[in-house]
Structure 1
Amino acid sequence: MPHCIVEYSQNLEQEVPPADLLEAVKEACIASALFSPQDIKLRSFPFKSFLSVGQEDAFIHVTLRVLSGRTEEQKKQLSHLVLEALTQFSLNNVSLSVEVCDMDRATYAKQVVLSQ
């Protein structure tokens, strides 16, 4: 935990490789001291088509899905650390946003299937 989902406008790939975005988010999650590094899961999705107020404005949006039970202050700190990590890329004319979403512990199920 957490599941870190990085959505971004595909036009940003010319300025920042997606692997760099994932690394920045991972390091921010580690810096939060809320997660073990081996538990952090990351994935990214580029969007070829996107509009913001009728214009094709660049964006990065990170959703951090965490198991419920963390305080509002912890989640606030986490979102600010990730947002700060995204600003390191010195991008211009881009919207950066981060949200932390709780996953209900009582209904979350997980199974790791390993090869035999």
Structure 2
Amino acid sequence: MPHMAIEYSANLDAKVDMNELCALVSRTILATGLFEPGAVRVRAFRTEAYAIADRLPENGFIDMSFRIGKGRSAEEKKRTGEAIFAAVSEHLASLFTTPHFALSLEIREIDAELNWKKNAIHPRLRGK
């Protein structure tokens, strides 16, 4: 863990390169130094059906949901969220020039007792 899920309105396809956005978010997460590279997952999901605010067709959104395991202080979580939100906001600055875009980020901690994982990537990246 950490896993970032980016949900976005389909009308952003022509405006945002989602592969590039995922790579930016991944780099930003890793730059915090709080997470192992083998644990980071960033993925984007295109939403076909949505109704945003006053339902104008040009309204668009990106909602980022960041799930992390326990073990980081409140300050570390806040610093991580601020770094991700700032990087994405800067990357998407052109979308904020119109009154039709909404960006959100939420960080959620996963309960370790209710979380199962098996990862063959860790040993390779750890050099073991």
TM-score (norm 1): 0.87
Establish whether residue 54 from structure 1 lines up as the match of residue 54 from structure 2. yes
Aligned to 2:86: 84
SS at match of 1:85: helix
**Structure (1 or 2) with the greater helix fraction:** 2
Cα distance per residue 1:34-81 (max 9 Å; x no partner): 112232011111112212223242111111100022222111111111
Aligned to 1:41: 41
Aligned to 2:113: 106
Aligned to 1:23: 23
What is the identity, as a one-letter code, of the residue corresponding to 1:30? L
Aligned to 2:65: 63
**Structure 1: gaps (5+ residues):** none
- 1:4–1:38 distance in 2 versus 1, CA, 3 Å: same
2:102 to 83, 95, 106: 95
Cα deviation, residue 7, structure 1: 0.6
The percentage of aligned residue pairs carrying the same residue is 28
**RMSD between superposed Cα atoms in Å:** 1.8
Cα deviation, residue 89, structure 1: 2.5
What is the identity, as a one-letter code, of the residue corresponding to 1:107? L
User: For the residues of structure 1 that align with 2:115 and 2:105, how far apart are their CA atoms?
Assistant: 22
SS at match of 1:30: helix
SS at match of 1:14: coil
Bigger Rg, which one:
2
**Structure 2: gaps (5+ residues):** 121-128
Say how many residue pairs are matched: 114
TM-score (norm 2): 0.80
